[in-house]
Structures are given as C-alpha cells and as structure tokens.
Structure 1
Amino acid sequence: MDNIQPNFDTKDILNRIIDENWITENSTGVFIIKDCIVVQGFTGKNYTYRVVNYMTGDKKYLFYRREILKKKEYEDVIKKVRDLSFYDLKQVSDGLEMIDHIFKEIFPKYGFVVREDQVHLSKHIYENMKEQRISLSDIAVGLGKTHAYLIAAIVYSIFPKKNRSYRQMPIVITTSSIELQRSIINEYIPQISKILIENGIISSPITSVLRKGKENYVCEKRLKDYFQSLDPNRKRPSEYRGLQQLIQSRNIDLAEAENISGYDKRKINVKSSQCIKCSEFKICAFQRFMKQARKSTYHFQICNHNYYLADVLKRKDGRISLLPDYQTVIIDEAHKLMDAANQMYGTTIIEHEVASMMKKIAPAYSKKKDQKELKNLTSEAMALNQMLFDLITDRVPERSLMDDIEKFPTEITLRTMKIIKKLLFTIHEISKKMGYTERQFSIDLKAFIEDLKLFLLGANICWVENPKARGQRKLSSIPKVISSEIGKDLWTGKRSMILTSGTLAVDGDFSYIKHQLGMSFLGDTKVKELTKSSPFHFEENCMIYLPQTMPFPNIDNEVYIQKLSREISNLIDASNGHALVLFTSYKLLRLIFQHVQEIQPERQMIAMNRGRSATIDEFKQSQNSVLFATGSMWEGVNIPGDVLSHLIIVKLPFPIPDPISDYEKSLYPDMNEYLKSVLIPKMLIKLRQGVGRLIRSETDTGVISILDVRASVNGRYHQDVLHALPRCRKACCIENIREFLREKKDNAYFE
C-alpha cells in the first residue's frame, strides 16, 4: 500500500476539520497524503492552497494562484507537504511498532478492546511474512484473528523488506466459507481502511476483489438466449421476473441475483468450453471483470481454498494462472484445506454428466455418413458409461449401504479396466468425427479423457458415491501420495504462508495437521507455531457434564437407545430447551428424535435434514426449542445469546471409515499407532469445532454435555477430551446443570 499516493476521497476528513474550525466552511478538499489534507479556498480573484494536519490541527499556507491547480501539478505540492515538520507526525521505526500503535492507540478510539494476545498474534504473523516463513496458529474464538492478520498484512505492505527490490503484489486470503469472504470484503476491510486513513497511516483506501469459479457468474449471452426461449405463461412469475431483472441490472454475480432457481443458474452461468468461440467475447461483462480482477493493483485477492488450489495446480502444469503473482498467502479456516485438496487433487466422474455431454454432441440429424457414425459413437459411449457404473456399484456389499457412509470402496478390476479402455477409444473416435458445431465441447471431452486415464493407474485410491442412485453415481479417486504432493506444491516456495484456524492443533500440538498437509519434512526454522486460548471466561460462564452411567455407544442396542433418549430428555428439561443436540449420524438422529418427541410431545423440537439453512433460521427465531442436528452443524454456525445455551454431544465424533482412511491405516504398524496418530487427533479437532458452537461472546453462558461413556471420568478418552476443551466448571449430575443455569439466566429464560 504505497504511502505516498494521494487519496482524493476527502469528504469525511474535510468535514471533520471544518467542525474543528481549523478551516473555513467554503473550503474544498484537494487530496489527502498521510496525515495531511491539502485544501483549496477561493477569494473571488485567486485560489488559495493550505495544508492541514488533520490529526493535530497544525496548518500552513502554501501559495495562491489565479487558475485552479491541475492534477499534473500535484506531485510538486506533495513534495512541499512532505518537507513540512508536521507531516507524518506518527512515524514509527518498524512494522512491530506500527502494529502496537494501531491496536493500542488507534483502535481503542473506535471502541476496540486492547487484547495483548491479539497484538502478539498480529506481530507473529507480520514477522513470518517478513521472513518468508510458514506460520501455523491455533486461535480460539473471540480473540479477533481476522483483524490480527489483516493489520499484519497491511503493515507488511507499508514496511517492505529493506535491502531487497520491492514490487507491489497482492496478498491472497483464502477461506473455506463464503460468509467469511464476504465479511472480509464488505465489513473488515472497509472499516479498517477508513480508520487507517482517518489516522494518517495510509493515504488511499485498501482494495480487494472476490474471486470465484466461472460457474458462479452470469454468461450474458446464455442468459439472453435462455430468457428468449421461455414461455412466460409456463414459468413461475417470480423466477421470470428475476431473470428479467438480471438482464436489466447487468449484474454478473449469481450470488447477488434474487429469485433465480438452481436450475436457471445452470442454464445461464459461464461455461468455459463456450467462451473462446463466443461471438460476444470482446464485449462480455464477465471477461471484462476477469481482466480487471487479474490485475495486481488490488491489495487483497480473496477466494476459497478450492480456487486457490486450482491456481496452484495451473501454475504447476505451466498453464495460465487464475490469480496474479502474489507476495504471501493467508489461509484462514485452514483445518478445511485438506478437504479442498482431496477435491482438487482428486478426480470425479459423474454418471449423468457423461451422458449429458454425449447427448449434446450427438447430432440432431443423422442423414449423412459422418453424422450417423458420430451418433452411433455417442450412443456406444453412453452404453459403456452405464456399464462402467453398473460394474463398480455391483461390487459394493449390501451390508455396507448405511445412510451415513458417503464413500464406498471399489476396485478397478481387469474387467473394469477393459471397459474404461474401450470408453477411452470411443471418446477418441468421437473427437475425430465432431464437426464445427460439436467442437465447442472439445475442452470438456479432453478433460474427460484425462480423468478416465487416471483410473487406469495403480497409484490412486478409488471409491464410488451414491451407488444406488442411478444417474447420480460418482466414481472418484485421489493419489495415494497426496500429502507429499501438497507438500511440494505449497510449502517449498519462497513466499510466506500463514495458516490459521480455531482448530489446527490438538492440545497445542500441530503434528497431525503437519502430517496431513505434507509439512513433516520442514524444519523448525521454516515453520513457526502459535496457540492462543479464548479470552472468554469459560470457568465462570460454562459448565461441562460427563455422565458415567451411559452404555457404550451402539446404535443396534435397544438399551442404549432407550437410555440415551431418556438422558437427552432430562437434559433438555434441565435447560428448558435452548439446546442443540449434535449427532455423528443421521440414522441415530432420526431414532433419538422420535423417542424424545414421544417423551416430550409438547416441546418444540426441530430435526435438521440434509439441507440446514431453514432449520437453523427456525431454531434462531424460537424461544426455547431444541435442534437435533449433524453434519455441517459441527462447525461454521454462529448462534449467540440464550437461544443456544445447552450443547448436547451424543457421541465422540470419530471419523466414519472410508477408502481414504483405510489406506491411511495401512501405513501404520498397528491399530494403536493409527489411533494415536490419526483417529484421536481428528476426533478431538472435530469435537472442538462442535463445542465452539456454544460460547460465541463474552456474555454467553451455557452447558456442554457429552454423553459418550468413553469421555467420562473412567473412560478411555477422558483426559484427551478435557485437555482439548476449555477449562470449565464440572457438573456431577443433571441437578448441577439446573442450579448453574438458574444462577446465570434471568427468569424469562425459564418461561
């Protein structure tokens, strides 16, 4: 962020110094440079120019002239301003001093609380940026890590390394959730930018751009063509108006469009295979946006983990990158990076997508010889595609078709390989026979060929998803050596990499995440670690309950189901609802929900289906209901206040076995070693994510109940669980919970 560039947005500062009576009301702002503003007056004959330090009130008359100052003359004025004794009075010697100055002197004027741990975190990140190291930080909720890394990044750009040629390049921020990306762009950065300008730290606003995959944007040509094909009498009126408004607005971000269905979005979004030969390529709004977004003039390029990894893989293959060259990467919500890597380094073939592509390539008419041959070939490809999926799903045992398993192991047998090779040959023949009209699918066809080839390699882990949902079946694979590939691609460069999350470490130990992300070969001089506990008063505001009398978790044991249902019902009574009951499987959720509903038919209870948004909103709007949930509810959900005051965790969240974990297990000498190195750390990280749903602010109070006997005082994982969670009061019985909540809540809570 170049600190000698003038800022021409002078309105707020000008009004402030007029209110202070430092200048007359008829003055106008010319530009701001650091902590000084140049103002212009008019006497009736001449234009007068003064400079005012808007922090101190110091001012100086510069000159007058008959003609208004021109922009090309500003540079000479800037030189005069910079020579003044009161210019940039808040100079600091280095970045660490600047971070102190911002957090301890500037931010408190705007209502921010000084947290020494937050300042320390920001300094830690700044120093690792400066030294081009990798930082791993496990930061509990409430500390303010987003402000910490944004300030560190801004200061790093103000104080580039000395004795090194410096070129302005953006900083990449990658997160898992779109909610955080939007908050950074729409809330954090504008707020910080305004504060730093007002206090003379920077002269011009901090800029950022949100980067997303092409499928998230509108193709104007496809939108117009699709809209013209619609019959307004057969289309839902709200959706028809939504498309009409989208055409008029020329907005290209589908996330901001209203009343556009998922089906319509797929009909109007950008398709890479159609861009190159599009007749409107040169006037396309999406292409203009991409051209601007790729520029290095933005201070921050913000994206999700998948988009960032897609850029890494493109650079690795020597293809055109998605992002401009950048100086450092901040990976927030870094505990989700491995999930994104499994998707981006892996390969997935979806049954209906292959069939759909063949139908589009198949000619509408087949009178000519070439047309007949092409139609026959596409028909053959569709038949082979179905044979392939039938073959791999037939090998999935019926007993393993549990509703909570998503990845089913499959083996690429000799017969399977024969079908894949035959399908590859047919696709090659199709590519030769395609005419001019069908060539728009060449890119998609080539990608499909490359994906198919990967299933012929023995170095991949393969699995099938949705095995009984014909058309929706998926064949997927990832390299067995994915961790080492990530290690080479991400951590061997010369730029700094800042990884942060609330759940990266297990009891202060980063070994698990370092192993997963291929960092084990890096020494202590390259990787720096930091953990910070929550500033919230857990010992005062939170209680934990670990009952000892629960049976061992077993969904097929009726005694366990009955005992668990009664315990949950009693706990709900103790907190008068206000509870989130977290499960690790939908099957157990449905069973217990039914039982508890029979015990308490009068209480409002909500069972979360696989789509979560509507149920969360319903729960938030209720007074004292109970939400039964699983899946995505373990993380990324913010329900502050008394609505959620009791978190009931039914079972310790050990990962469900799948082909990836089966292979991972084979790399360890025995089950105990695998349990200690992988399963327990993964479970504890997930447990911390779930527990993080409860206390979301300094004033939140509540209870955590963990009903897995393995976490109880005599349980195998008792000490692991206690070390992973914040230190809280202990409840010996359900009556302790009632007493605690009576102490913390007002009377209205129990009505």
Structure 2
Amino acid sequence: MDNTQENLDIKDILKKIIGEKWITEDSTGVFIIKDCIVVQSFTGKNYTYRVVNYVTGDQKYLFYKRQELAKQDYDGVIEKIKALSFYDMKQASDGSEMIDLIFRDIFPKYGFVVREEQVELSKHIYENMKERKISLSDIAVGLGKTHAYLIAAMVHSIFARKGRFYKQMPIVITTSSIELQRSIIKEYIPEISKMLIENGMISSPITCVLRKGKENYVCENRLKDYFQSLDPKRKRSSEYKGLQKLIQSRNIDLADAEDISGYDKRKINVKSSQCMKCSKFKTCAFQQFMKEARKSTYHFQICNHNYYLADILKRKDGRRSLLPDYQTVIIDEAHKLMDAANQMYGTTINEHEVNHLMKKISPTYSKKKSQKELKNLTSEVMALNQMFFDALTEQIPGTAFFDDTEKFPTTITLRIMTLLKKMVLTIHEISKKMSYTERQFLIDIKAVLDGLRVFLLETNIYWMENPKAKGQRMLASIPKVISKELGDDLWTVKRSMILTSGTLAVDGDFSYIKHQLGMNTISDWKINELTKSSPFHFKKNCMLYMPKKIPFPNVDDEAYIHEVGQEISRLIDASNGHALVLFTSYKPLRLIFQHIKEKHPNRQLIAMNRGRNTGIDEFKESQNAVLFATGSMWEGVNIPGDVLSHLIIVKLPFPIPDPISDYEKSLYPDMNEYLKSVLIPKMLIKLRQGVGRLIRSETDTGVISILDVRASDNGRYHQEVLHALPECRRAEGINDIQAFLKEKKDKLYFE
C-alpha cells in the first residue's frame, strides 16, 4: 500500500488511459508514481516520454531519448513529476480526510452509496487503530462494516509508514465463517485495491493471505500413496478423477478440490506427526506455502477465530507462532469468539481416537518379546479406555438425556480417577517401549497423555458428549477461569483490537460480552464503544406479530404443540408460504412439522434434520416453500428476496442448560441475578441473530412472528424483546399480516 515508491505493475492503468484515448494504443507504460503514470512511445528513431495523471487525464511531455529509459534514471524523472501541478492531486493530509475522500469521492464512481454511519464507523475504527485501543462496535446488517474496517485498516497502514519508528507488520483479520473470509480475499480486497489504484490513492495492489489449520491442506506424499492404493474399478469414477486432477494440479488447498469426499480428504491431508520426518520436507508444496504465508510483507493475514487463538496460545507457551508479528487485530463476528475459546482452551479425549492410536502402535507380529509386551500394553489401554468411558456414562443421571442435550454432566469419581491414572501410566510405558518404527506416533502419544492429565485436575468443568454412541464417546473440559485466562492472553499486549459484530451488545450495552471475554479489569479509557442501528426502514418494511393467547412453551404438553401448530398453519397461509420457522430444538420441530404436513399436504414443506444442510438450498430455489429449522439457521445464512418474507420464531432462544451454565450459575447469588446478567443477554443476542435473517437489503419486506407468550404485551420479557429489535409496525392479528403483505408484494408473490 506504499504510494511513494514507483510501481511497475501498470497493465490495468495503461489499459484504462488508452481506453480513455488519453494516449495512443502503441504507447507502453514505464512506471506509476502515486496518481501519475510515465508512458513511452517509439517514433522509429527516438523514445519519447510523457507523464499522465490517470485519475484526471492531465498530462505533460517530459523528454525524448535515443535509448530506452533505464531504471537508474527513475529518481531524476520522479523529481520532475513531483514538481508538476497535477501530481498527487488528491492526497489527504490525515487518515480521517483520506477516509472521507474514499467513501465520498471514490466509491460513488463505482456505484456505492454514501452512508454517513459507515463513514463514522470507519473513522472510529481508524482512530482506535492509531491510538492502539480496543473498539467494541455493534453494527446492524446492511451498514457495510466490512468495507468500513478494511478502509480504516488500509488508511492506517498508509499513514503508519510515515511514522518515525515504522516497522512493516500485517493486520490480522479473524472471522468465524469461511464464507466471510473468502469474500474478503476474493471480492472485497481485490475490488477496493483496484479502485484505490485507479484513483491514485495507492500505487501497488493490496496483498492478503488466508491462513488455515494443517488439516485443510494436501500432503503430496499421502495423496500419492493413497491414490496408488486405490482400485479404479472399485472407486467411484468422479472421486478417482478428482484425486487424479489434484495430483496434476499440485493445488494444496482442500477447499478448492472438486469431487473429493470427506473420507478421501482425511486420507490425504497434512498430519503434524508425519511432517518433521518426511524426506520431502524442504521441497513440499505445503511447507513452501507456509514459509511464504508467514512473511510480514502481506498487508492482511486472514484466519478464523480458532487459528487466531491457536497463535495466541503458541506465543504464550514460547513456541513458534503461526502468524507473523502484528500490532492490529480485527475480530469480525466477535460474538463467536467465546465459542472458539471454549474449543481452543478446552481439552477433549475421544474414545475412538485413543483406540485408533493403540491399533496403529500395536505390532502386526508378536514373535519377539518386545513386540508381545507392546501388544499387551496397547490391548490393556483399549480395555481401560472402554471401562473409563463406561464408568463415565454410568455417572450421567437419567434426567439428563433430553432430546437436544449436547453436553452431559458427569462426575470424576474415585474409580474413574483410578482408571484414568492407570491409563496414563500404561500409555507412558508404551512410549518407552516403542521401536524406531512406532516412534512416528510420539507426537500423538504426547497429545493423548497431555489430554488425559488435564482430567486429573480439579480446576475444570467436565462433561460428556455422545454418551450413548459406544466407540464415539467423548470427555471434554474447559477451565473454570476461562474468561480470566482469555482476558490475560488477549488484552494485556499493547495492540489495537477491533471487535465488531451485528450482535455484540444488548440494547446498546456491552457488559455481557465484556464479562464473557475477560475485559472487566481493563481501564475504561482503553475501550471505545459504538453502536449503529440498521439503515433499513424497518417501520416501513417490516411488521412484528406477538400473539397473546399461545400457551406457555412446554414441548411435553400436547395442547401446547397443537396450539402452536394451529397458529403456524394460519401464519403460513397468511403469507402464502415464503416462511422460515425457527425452533430452539429438534423435538418440537419434528412434532409441529408433522402437524403442519397433515394440514398442508400440497404445500412445499422442508424440515432440516441433524447434519442435513441441503434444505437451505432447496428453500432458496423454491418459490414459496416453508423451511422448518434450528441450530445454524439462527445466524450466518443469507436468503435474499421474497423467498423468505415471514420469519416465525416459535420460542425465545434461551440457552439449553449444560455443565458450563450450571457452573456459571453457581457464581451468582441467586437465580434472578443470573437471569439478568447472563441468560437474558444470551437470549436477546440469539434472538437478534435470528431476526437478522429477514431484512437483508433496502428492498426486503416481511413479517416477524414471535410465538412465545413471554414476549407478548403482558409477557415477562416483552420490554426486553422490544428494545432488542428494530422498531416495526405492530400486527394485532393475522388479518393485519395479510393486509401488510398485499400492500408490499406483487401479484406473483401470492400465486
């Protein structure tokens, strides 16, 4: 982003000024300096040179030479250009002025609308970067926060270069979704880069690199070995050709590989334990990519929250970092950072992984004494592993097995602790008895031992996952003080931290997220907060319906299921489908879907099951279907246009109790305090995420129906819900919904 050095990448600029007929087609470009390009023409005897301002079209003849201009002569030419009146015409004096220039003068040339709140947001972010402060911003959908923080970051980089103690460092952008990462790399940054170059703001392209975990990349050795082991007659033709194509292309990013199954990807991806001893380590395409990616010359390093936290933890432990040194971090989708922290600071022991490792270590032959000993030890660990998980499962109370429970409470009893210690000792014994061949598994052995030892501590919260799936059971834990640990790791380093999301605050209050992320000990002067409401006309384009006569939510009450089913049936008739019905769990989804299916045999109804995401595409391609969903559909899904015009929220999305929330609850003096400080903020954030699925553009229109009596006019959480949502028209009954949609939609909508 340096706009004070000559830039030799001139193809696009040359094409532009030839197209504008400012120079002849036989001209060639020499170099660019800020908003000017030096062009060369050959007359047959001499080379003539002129300078053109490629933004304004101003130009001036410079000189002619018998020989082509040499690079060592550029400095003298640059001095002549700097003296011209049309050189660097649009250079801003400071960052704030440059942000204004970009949003108000440059972007509108390319069809962008000037949004005052977007400009304010970009300036807010820039000031926090400059002062190395922490920014918390809650920014509604449609305001353009991605462009706001990218421009702020680019402007910050331009002006930071002018500082006396400047050191080249990238800016880290971390998000929770791969879709946003790809959009930033493939759309936002190239598009902004092109616009700024064309307008003389920068002279060379903005560079970025996507960083992902090793498992997302191809190991060339494993790929070749796996491919050679396949029988083309028994392997699906498309998958076989996909692997063949991957070998030929030398592409290492599995996300770009076509026609390759998840099973195949696990067979060919990079494995940490096999890298260091690999004979092709120095020539490996993955290692070359990693060497290049770690360079600080990239303007942006882009990753997900897990990768960013993995880098933090490696630095903390004194290990080699994943990312180069940086002074600014942008955390987009920051409401998901704590979920990533629970994974990265947590520990899991998987029944299958322990057994699988023991099977790999166990010798095929056991003729020698050492082989027999090793085989017996691995068999003993597998037996202990099963007893360990059986004992854990027995500790789970029968009342815990609800339909949608994912984290099951368990207790580390004296017997379980004994089994755990015995397993640790036996695995340690295995590590000492392994031959040279088996020593390739030392890294995996260490990982299992480190994981098991965590469960000997009393400072953690424990739970089980998949307790009824023998062989796939998992024991998990996180530290009780995870917020403090996260806070110590994130906020004690002097760097600017920009946290942004559409749902970071509750009614403009950031207390919940600050508590969650361990920010309570940070001085107020170091944190700047900002909220920006939606630029969309909700009062004009959106109606809110909250009926009063629905029974109190109780999935086990047949009367409740019947009444809610009846109301949903009437609502989807009122909107002629075009509806997303959002649930908080699968049991009511199944029961109510069945009820609606019987009532509407001719309507296209789609139910999302666990692990089935094809329903989203089916819904998007439909004209007026109804999608019944839960889980991931509460956030991050964009369904544009009239396909989704009615969002029906069956129940307020309070979190399902689990061992983490049980511990959290114990920290508060009473249930009311816990409800006010944790449960209601969590519910309102999730509710806002769900509501965000409906109105995604200036032209979207639709209805939000909330069928939880606790949200209705006399309900316990009515005021909190109203304050959390944008101001909409209110519907008193279903007739109001029909009238509103007839006013907003064309005739085709009702066919």
TM-score (norm 2): 0.99
Which residue is equivalent to 1:677? 677
Distance, in Å, in 2 between the alignment partners of 1:199 and 1:441 is: 56
* Residues 498-551 of structure 1, C-alpha deviations (whole Å, 9 max, x = no match): 000000000000000000000011122111000000100000000000000010
Question: Counterparts in 2 of 1:303-452, with a 5 A limit?
Answer: 303-452=303-452
Distance, in Å, in 2 between the alignment partners of 1:471 and 1:255 is: 29
Distance, in Å, in 1 between the alignment partners of 2:659 and 2:539 is: 41
Distance, in Å, in 1 between the alignment partners of 2:500 and 2:109 is: 28
From the superposition, tell whether residues 489 and 599 of structure 1 become closer, same or farther in structure 2 (CA, over 3 Å): same
Letter paired with 2:412: I
Which residue is equivalent to 1:556? 556
Structure 1 position 73, deviation (Å): 4.1
Structure 1 position 20, deviation (Å): 3.3
Which residue is equivalent to 2:186? 186
Letter paired with 2:665: K
Distance, in Å, in 1 between the alignment partners of 2:235 and 2:11 is: 48
From the superposition, tell whether residues 72 and 431 of structure 1 become closer, same or farther in structure 2 (CA, over 3 Å): farther
Distance, in Å, in 2 between the alignment partners of 1:422 and 1:522 is: 44
Structure 1 position 640, deviation (Å): 1.1
Which residue is equivalent to 2:478? 478
Question: Counterparts in 2 of 1:198-213, with a 5 A limit?
Answer: 198-213=198-213
> In 1, are the aligned partners of 2:461 and 2:479 still within 8 Å (CA)?
yes
Letter paired with 1:233: K
Which residue is equivalent to 2:40? 40
Which residue is equivalent to 2:219? 219
Question: Counterparts in 2 of 1:73-112, with a 5 A limit?
Answer: 73-112=73-112
* Residues 471-503 of structure 1, C-alpha deviations (whole Å, 9 max, x = no match): 111100000000000111001111100000000
Distance, in Å, in 2 between the alignment partners of 1:17 and 1:274 is: 53
> In 2, are the aligned partners of 1:547 and 1:706 still within 8 Å (CA)?
yes
Structure 1 position 86, deviation (Å): 2.2
Which residue is equivalent to 1:574? 574
Question: Counterparts in 2 of 1:60-71, with a 5 A limit?
Answer: 60-71=60-71
Letter paired with 2:387: M
SS at match of 2:641: coil
* Residues 408-430 of structure 1, C-alpha deviations (whole Å, 9 max, x = no match): 01111121111111111111111
Letter paired with 1:474: M
Structure 1 position 453, deviation (Å): 0.8
SS at match of 1:531: strand
> In 2, are the aligned partners of 1:7 and 1:205 still within 8 Å (CA)?
no
From the superposition, tell whether residues 472 and 592 of structure 1 become closer, same or farther in structure 2 (CA, over 3 Å): same
* Residues 209-245 of structure 1, C-alpha deviations (whole Å, 9 max, x = no match): 0000000000000000000011111111111111111
Which residue is equivalent to 1:735? 735
> In 1, are the aligned partners of 2:542 and 2:704 still within 8 Å (CA)?
yes
Identity %: 79
> In 2, are the aligned partners of 1:580 and 1:648 still within 8 Å (CA)?
yes
Which residue is equivalent to 2:526? 526
Which residue is equivalent to 1:25? 25
Which residue is equivalent to 2:535? 535
**Which portions of structure 1, spanning 4 or more consecutive aligned residues, are displaced by more than 4 angstroms?**
161-164
Structure 1 position 81, deviation (Å): 2.8
Distance, in Å, in 1 between the alignment partners of 2:283 and 2:15 is: 41
Q: Are positions 1:268 and 2:268 aligned together?
A: yes
Distance, in Å, in 1 between the alignment partners of 2:664 and 2:71 is: 64
Distance, in Å, in 1 between the alignment partners of 2:644 and 2:602 is: 19
From the superposition, tell whether residues 349 and 507 of structure 1 become closer, same or farther in structure 2 (CA, over 3 Å): same
Letter paired with 2:674: Y
> In 2, are the aligned partners of 1:348 and 1:476 still within 8 Å (CA)?
yes
* Residues 105-156 of structure 1, C-alpha deviations (whole Å, 9 max, x = no match): 1111110000000000000000000000000000000000000000000000
SS at match of 2:57: coil
Distance, in Å, in 2 between the alignment partners of 1:161 and 1:525 is: 26
> In 2, are the aligned partners of 1:194 and 1:205 still within 8 Å (CA)?
yes
Structure 1 position 38, deviation (Å): 1.0
SS at match of 2:619: helix
Question: Counterparts in 2 of 1:159-178, with a 5 A limit?
Answer: 159-160=159-160, 164-178=164-178
* TM-align CA RMSD: 1.1
Which residue is equivalent to 1:157? 157
Letter paired with 1:643: V
Q: How many residues align?
A: 751
Distance, in Å, in 2 between the alignment partners of 1:604 and 1:732 is: 28
Which residue is equivalent to 1:7? 7
> In 2, are the aligned partners of 1:584 and 1:630 still within 8 Å (CA)?
yes
Which residue is equivalent to 1:711? 711
Which residue is equivalent to 1:505? 505
> In 2, are the aligned partners of 1:641 and 1:700 still within 8 Å (CA)?
yes
Which residue is equivalent to 1:606? 606
> In 1, are the aligned partners of 2:400 and 2:409 still within 8 Å (CA)?
no
Moved more, 428-437 or 16-25: 16-25
* Residues 569-624 of structure 1, C-alpha deviations (whole Å, 9 max, x = no match): 00000000000000000011000000111111111100001224310000011111
Distance, in Å, in 2 between the alignment partners of 1:304 and 1:257 is: 20
> In 2, are the aligned partners of 1:176 and 1:336 still within 8 Å (CA)?
yes
> In 2, are the aligned partners of 1:130 and 1:161 still within 8 Å (CA)?
no
Which residue is equivalent to 1:294? 294
Moved more, 501-510 or 380-389: 380-389
Moved more, 160-169 or 530-539: 160-169
* Residues 229-271 of structure 1, C-alpha deviations (whole Å, 9 max, x = no match): 1111111111111111110111100010011111110000000
Which residue is equivalent to 2:279? 279
Structure 2 gap segments, 5+ residues each: none
Structure 1 gap segments, 5+ residues each: none
Letter paired with 2:438: E
Distance, in Å, in 1 between the alignment partners of 2:550 and 2:56 is: 67
Moved more, 22-31 or 96-105: 22-31
Structure 1 position 7, deviation (Å): 2.7
Letter paired with 2:452: L
Distance, in Å, in 2 between the alignment partners of 1:59 and 1:345 is: 60
* Residues 705-725 of structure 1, C-alpha deviations (whole Å, 9 max, x = no match): 000000000000000000000
Letter paired with 1:318: G
From the superposition, tell whether residues 38 and 612 of structure 1 become closer, same or farther in structure 2 (CA, over 3 Å): farther
Distance, in Å, in 2 between the alignment partners of 1:413 and 1:7 is: 68
* Residues 313-369 of structure 1, C-alpha deviations (whole Å, 9 max, x = no match): 000000000000012000000000000000000001111011111111111111111
Letter paired with 2:94: D
> In 2, are the aligned partners of 1:32 and 1:203 still within 8 Å (CA)?
yes
Which residue is equivalent to 1:120? 120
Letter paired with 1:90: K
From the superposition, tell whether residues 365 and 678 of structure 1 become closer, same or farther in structure 2 (CA, over 3 Å): same
Distance, in Å, in 2 between the alignment partners of 1:175 and 1:426 is: 41
Moved more, 501-510 or 62-71: 62-71
SS at match of 2:192: helix
Structure 1 position 61, deviation (Å): 2.7
* Residues 43-100 of structure 1, C-alpha deviations (whole Å, 9 max, x = no match): 2122222211112222233333333233454344334433433221112110000000
Moved more, 415-424 or 474-483: 415-424
Letter paired with 1:165: F
SS at match of 1:642: helix
Distance, in Å, in 1 between the alignment partners of 2:6 and 2:289 is: 26
> In 1, are the aligned partners of 2:668 and 2:674 still within 8 Å (CA)?
yes
Distance, in Å, in 1 between the alignment partners of 2:516 and 2:151 is: 29
> In 2, are the aligned partners of 1:5 and 1:204 still within 8 Å (CA)?
no
